[in-house]
């Protein structure tokens, strides 16, 4: 068993002033005086070389792997008990003296300065006594005092890669006025280091973006929205030919009001880029709006039209037509509506309170849920206008008498009154000359 007198001297060994002007060394100068278990000076008379293990701990007594922050070994010459070392100049500790490998705790993996990330640190020293016996760490461990932490001032002279972390910088410690123009380049920014939340609105202007630095590959899908683009900031000259394709334009995003007069010429429309079907549909909807009813000579409705046969259809499938006529001609449910049923019927203009239809208030629904009264879609039964007929009789041999309702003829033979009826003539309905057609409705 050895005992040792420890003397912790100047913590940062600044070897010479010329060296200190360019870099701060990663060493701590340490001097000590070692005695044997019997109290004799080690290396008395003849200097001896001994393996010295130097460790930096985060705890005064514990020896867990999490408490060991730094470990190294050096061959130290001890003369008359005295020795001097530079902690930080040794090699990784070999073996598993503490029951676990210490190799990763020292050079080249960990520097001595890396161990001083907190205020409380302890130095542990173990000296090989030259025998095969296990050498124990000399107790108690010595606590490093303030001067040891002066080595952290080396960040003022040179910053190793990763030496300055976000945790070391107070909020707003580095302002734009402290960063020289062009001092921060792409190579100094880690991938994804700058996110959208770190960029204040309007801080990146067009003058700060070099031509060609932002390509399509740099923009995430949906990153540039229409609200982020000022009016008139993108001119036609800024858009490469064929850069804006149909797939990049959402339906309904370009309205006629967004297109200046004469900006779209025949030369800007490539052959076959506008299909005939798209033009036909646009023209049809402009000239013949949904809900238009016309007479049609065919038996099957053409494209874009439906027969006026009272069929119940789904609102979502024919949204434009439903917007135009709604439930005027009936509805079977909350998701359907009826087409007009004009089979075998004449059309009549909506009275709309003008008074030309005297029975307008008595009209009934064409189908369940349809309009009644003076409304589009309501229906009225056929009828003849009220009228009277005049009859004539040969009255020779008869005498006439009258009551309040009719003229009564009698022949004096007291065999009852004589009445006369008109003969029924005509067809089964009142109608003009007519021809059969289909009525169709635009959807």
Which residue, among 28, 58, 32, has the nearest Cα to 148 in the 3D structure? 28
Average of per-residue pLDDT values in the chain: 82
Q: Is the predicted pLDDT of residue 11 greater than 80, yes or no?
A: no
* Domains, in order of start, for the chain: 2-156 (2.60.40)
Label the pairing between strands 28-36 and 378-379: unpaired
pLDDT (tens digit per residue) in 399-436: 666 665 665 655 555 555 555 667 778 888 888 889 99
Q: Is the predicted pLDDT of residue 68 greater than 80, yes or no?
A: yes
pLDDT at 396: 62
pLDDT at 386: 85
Report the distance separating Cα 51 and Cα 97, nearest Å. 13
71-96 average pLDDT score? 94
Local confidence band at 184 (pLDDT 50, 70, 90 cut-offs): confident
Place of tokens 């789904």: 314
pLDDT (tens digit per residue) in 293-351: 999 999 999 999 999 999 999 999 999 999 999 999 999 999 999 999 999 999 999 99
pLDDT at 408: 62
Report the distance separating Cα 93 and Cα 70, nearest Å. 10
Q: Is the predicted pLDDT of residue 53 greater than 90, yes or no?
A: yes
Peptide bond into 108 cis (omega under 30): yes
Cα–Cα distances in Å, from 382 out to 329, 363, 439? 19, 11, 20
């Amino acid at each position: 068993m050895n005992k040792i007198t420890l003397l912790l001297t100047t913590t940062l060994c600044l070897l010479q002033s010329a060296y200190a002007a360019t870099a701060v060394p990663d060493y701590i100068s340490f001097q000590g005086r070692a005695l044997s278990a019997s109290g004799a000076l080690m290396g008395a008379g003849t200097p001896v070389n001994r393996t010295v293990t130097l460790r930096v701990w985060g705890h005064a007594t514990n020896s867990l792997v999490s408490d060991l922050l730094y470990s190294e070994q050096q061959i130290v010459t001890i003369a008359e008990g005295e020795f001097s070392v530079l902690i930080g100049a040794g090699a990784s500790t070999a073996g598993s003296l503490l029951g676990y490998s210490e190799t990763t705790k020292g050079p080249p993996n960990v520097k001595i300065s890396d161990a001083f990330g907190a205020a409380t640190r302890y130095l542990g020293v173990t000296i090989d006594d030259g025998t095969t016996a296990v050498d124990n760490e000399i107790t108690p461990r010595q606590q490093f005092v303030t001067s040891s932490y002066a080595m952290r001032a080396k960040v003022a002279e040179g910053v190793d890669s990763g030496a300055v972390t976000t945790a070391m910088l107070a909020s707003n410690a580095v302002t734009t006025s402290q960063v020289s123009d062009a001092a921060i380049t792409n190579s100094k920014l880690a991938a994804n280091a700058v996110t959208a939340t770190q960029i204040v609105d309007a801080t990146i202007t067009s003058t700060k973006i070099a031509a060609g630095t932002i390509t399509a590959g740099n923009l995430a899908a949906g990153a540039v929205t229409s609200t982020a683009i000022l009016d008139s900031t993108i001119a036609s000259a800024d858009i490469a030919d064929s850069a804006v394709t149909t797939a990049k334009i959402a339906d309904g995003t370009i309205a006629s009001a967004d297109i200046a007069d004469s900006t779209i010429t025949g030369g800007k429309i490539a052959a076959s880029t506008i299909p005939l079907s798209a033009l036909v549909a646009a023209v049809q909807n402009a000239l013949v709006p949904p809900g238009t009813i016309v007479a049609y000579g065919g038996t099957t409705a053409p494209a874009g039209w439906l027969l006026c046969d009272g069929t119940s259809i789904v609102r979502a499938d024919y949204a434009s037509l439903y917007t135009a006529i709604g439930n005027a001609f009936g509805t079977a449910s909350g998701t359907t509506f009826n087409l007009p049923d004009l089979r075998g019927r004449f059309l009549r203009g909506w009275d709309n309170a003008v008074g030309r239809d005297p029975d307008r208030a008595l009209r009934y629904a064409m189908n369940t849920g349809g309009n009644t009264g003076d409304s589009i879609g309501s229906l009225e039964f056929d009828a003849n206008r009220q009228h009277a007929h005049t009859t004539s009789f040969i009255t020779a041999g008869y005498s006439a008498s009258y009551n309040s309702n009719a003229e009564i003829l009698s022949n004096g033979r007291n065999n009852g009154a004589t009445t006369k009826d008109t003969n029924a003539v005509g067809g089964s309905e009142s109608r003009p000359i007519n021809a059969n057609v289909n009525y169709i409705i635009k959807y």
